[in-house]
Amino acid sequence: MLILAIDTSAVASAALVSSEAPGSVLASFSTEDTRSHAEVLAPGIEEMLAGAGVTGKDIDALVVGVGPGPFTGLRSGIATARTLAFVWGKPLHGLVSLDAMALEVAESAAAVPEFLVATDARRKEVYWARYSLAEGRLPVLEDGPHVSFAADLPDLPAFGAGAGLYADALNAHPDFAQEQPDALYLGKFALARLVAGNALLDSTPLYLRESDAQVPGPRKRAL
Amino acid sequence: MNRTQPLVLGIESSCDETGVGIVRGTTLLTNTVSSSMDEHVRFGGVIPEIASRAHLDAFVPTLEQALADAGVALDDVDAIAVTSGPGLAGALMVGVCAAKALAVATGKPLYAINHLVAHVGVGLLDRKGSGQGTGTAPQLPENLGALLVSGGHTEILRINSITDDVQLLGSTIDDAAGEAYDKVARILGLGYPGGPAIDKVARTGNPKSIRFPRGLSQPKYMGTVEEPGKHRYDWSFSGLKTAVARCVEQFEARGEEIPVADIAAAFQEAVVDIISSKAVLACREHGIKDVLLGGGVAANSRLRELTGQRCASAGIRLHVPPLDLCTDNGAMVAALGAQLVMAGVEPSGIRFAPDSSMPVTSVSLPA
Ligand SMILES: [Zn+2]
Q: Quick: pLDDT tens for B70-91.
A: 999 999 999 999 999 999 999 9
Q: Which residue of A has its CA nearest to B74?
A: A87
Instruction: Give yes or no for residue A76 having a pLDDT over 80.
Output: yes
**Residue of B172, B282, B184 whose CA lies nearest to B236:** B172
Q: Does A219 touch chain B (CB under 8 A)?
A: yes
- Mean pLDDT across chain A, nearest whole number? 94
In sequence order, what are the beta bridge partners of A95?
A65
Position B111 scores a pLDDT of: 98
Q: What is the mean pLDDT of residues B233-239?
A: 96
Position A220 scores a pLDDT of: 60
Torsion sign over Cα A61, A66, A67, A69: positive
Q: Which of residues 53-72 of A touch B (CB under 8 A)?
A: 56, 71-72
Position B126 scores a pLDDT of: 85
Position A223 scores a pLDDT of: 46
**Chain A interface, mutation test: which of B97, B182, B246, most A Cβ atoms within 10 Å?**
B97
> Would you state the torsion angle of the CA atoms of residues B105, B109, B114, B118, taken in this order, to the nearest 10 degrees?
-100
Beta-carbon separation of B104 and A84 below 8 A: yes
Residues of B in contact with A39 (CB under 8 A): 351-353
Beta-carbon separation of A216 and B186 below 8 A: yes
Q: In a 3-state reduction of DSSP, which class is residue A176?
A: helix
Q: Does A212 touch chain B (CB under 8 A)?
A: yes
Say how many Å lie between the first and final Cα of chain B, rounded: 17
Q: Does A41 touch chain B (CB under 8 A)?
A: yes
Position A219 scores a pLDDT of: 62
Q: How many other C-beta atoms can be found within 10 angstroms of the C-beta atom of residue B224?
A: 9
DSSP category for residue B347: P
State in Å: Cα B158 to ligand 1 middle.
Answer: 17
- What is the enclosing helix (H) or strand (E) of A189? helix A183-195
Q: How many other C-beta atoms can be found within 10 angstroms of the C-beta atom of residue B357?
A: 8
* Beta-carbon contacts below 8 Å between A and B: 114
H helical segments located in chain B: 37-40, 48-70, 89-106, 115-121, 177-187, 194-202, 219-222, 238-253, 260-285, 301-313, 323-326, 330-342
Torsion sign over Cα B164, B166, B167, B168: negative
Q: Tell me the C-alpha distance between B331 and B18, whole Å.
A: 11
Position A124 scores a pLDDT of: 94
- The crossing angle, in degrees rounded to 10, of helices B194-202 and B301-313 is 70
In sequence order, what are the beta bridge partners of B171?
B155
Q: Tell me the C-alpha distance between B105 and B221, whole Å.
A: 51
Chain B closest CA to A195's CA: distance in Å?
25
- Helices then strands (H, E): number in chain B? 12, 11
For A9, phi and psi rounded to 5 degrees? -70, -25
Residues of A in contact with B53 (CB under 8 A): 71, 75, 205, 207, 211
Q: Which residue of A has its CA nearest to B61?
A: A86
Position A217 scores a pLDDT of: 66
Say how many Å lie between the first and final Cα of chain A, rounded: 71
Percent of chain B clearing pLDDT 70 (strictly above): 98
**Chain A interface, mutation test: which of B100, B251, B352, B358, most A Cβ atoms within 10 Å?**
B100
In sequence order, what are the beta bridge partners of A128?
A118, A146
Protein residues within 5 Å, CB atom, of ion ligand 1: B 150, 328
**A80-139 pLDDT per residue, tens:** 999 999 999 999 999 999 999 999 999 999 999 999 999 999 999 999 999 999 988 999
Instruction: Give yes or no for residue B241 having a pLDDT over 80.
Output: yes
Position A108 scores a pLDDT of: 96
**B98-140 pLDDT per residue, tens:** 999 999 999 999 999 999 999 999 998 987 654 444 556 788 8
Q: Tell me the C-alpha distance between A104 and A117, whole Å.
A: 10
Q: Tell me the C-alpha distance between B79 and B106, whole Å.
A: 10
Strands B17-24 and B27-35: antiparallel
